[in-house]
Amino acid sequence: MSSLPRVDGQGEPLRLLHVHAHPDDESSKGAATTAKYVAEGVEVMVATCTGGERGSILNPAMDRPDVLERIAEIRRDEMDRAREILGVEQVWLGYVDSGLPEGDPLPPLPEGSFATLDVAEAAAPLVEVIRRFRPHVVTTYDENGGYPHPDHIMCHKISVAAFEAAADPEAYPGTGEPWRPLKLYYSFGFHYDKFAALHDAMAERGLESPYAERLRDWKFDPDIPNRLTTRVPCADFFPVRDAALVAHATQIDPEGMWFQVPLDLQAAAWPTEDFQLVQSAVETALPEDDLFAGIADPVDEVSASRVSA
């Protein structure tokens, strides 16, 4: 992909929409890809489903009563800083964090929280965002939410529903003119092959890997490597990703696991962020190294057949 701003066949700037469940997800999943495209002139928007109000405080330095009392406000401020670092637009869909239920049996989710809502109703604000921003590409999580947090799974559901409905002139009246995004991707930020490669590279360099215990306990899904269709080279933007992560101070310990692997080792062992193309209205050859593959070419005569990977 060129380092200059690109335009599609209609002469418009390329636009990319990421749909995430909570503030900090945009920085922990696909942030280097985001920074790469922003640097190349792509317009990028993040739609954040919830405010993260029920998220745990994961940074010991921030685990204080005064922070907990103001967690919703603080997480919004953190999102503002991350947004500025990544150079994106960002919109809140306005839903309330469901929290991560614990226990056996699991307790019911809080009434009115995001994951308890009707999917068709909850998709409406996202349809409006799609019709207003008019993205060519949308990314979200897979059917398992990337990991089985109820808000991540709900994020997947409304993203798929909104992707389909936004182009339907009969759907969601009053939310803008219909718009059909051209490609839908699931992001796979955390998968076994990636962590195994980083672990092995640390061992080869004689360094202690932060992933040893995680890999021992990993519930390996052998299907995920087969699902990955698109690996975006973005190692030059790992520092931007890390800066955006650190902006989420309640969620990210700057001395924690995510920062124990040197950046040059990450760039050598796993220089990409990885996605699955699940729907496409443009012709593209798999595997890809660009979320906009097929879109930079004129699309008027391109087959509108769906691609399922």
For the chain, give every domain's residue range: 15-190+222-280
In the block, residue with structure tokens 């920085």: 27
Confidence of residue 240 (pLDDT cuts 50, 70, 90): very high
CB count, 10 Å around CB of 287? 12
Is a pLDDT exceeding 70 seen at residue 179?
A: yes
Q: Give percent above pLDDT 70 in the chain.
A: 92
Non-local (6+) Cβ contacts of 247 within 8 A are 27, 78, 81, 82, 85
pLDDT tier at 268, thresholds 50, 70, 90 = very high
Instruction: Please report which confidence band the pLDDT of residue 305 belongs to, taking 50, 70 and 90 as the band edges.
Output: very low
Using a 10 angstrom Cβ sphere, with 0-12 exposed, 13-18 middle and 19 or more buried, the burial of residue 74 is buried
Above 60 in pLDDT, residue 304? no
Least Cα distance to 226 among 182, 191, 198 occurs for 191
Which one, of 64, 100, 101, lies nearest residue 250 by Cα?
64
Task: List, for residues 273-300, the tens digit of each pLDDT value.
Answer: 999 999 999 999 999 999 999 997 543 3
- Residue 296, pLDDT score: 73
Query: Rounded CA gap, 170 and 178, in Å?
Result: 9
Return d(Cα 261, Cα 54) in angstroms, integer.
29
Query: pLDDT (tens digit, 9 = 90+) per residue, 110-161?
Result: 999 999 999 999 999 999 999 999 999 999 999 999 888 999 999 999 999 9
Instruction: Enter the CATH code of domain 15-190+222-280.
Output: 3.40.50.10320
Q: Determine if residue 30 is left, alpha or beta; phi over 0 gives left, psi from -120 to 50 gives alpha, anything else beta.
A: left
| Three-class secondary structure of residue 44 per DSSP | strand
Q: Is 4 exposed, middle or buried (0-12, 13-18, 19+ CB in 10 A)?
A: exposed
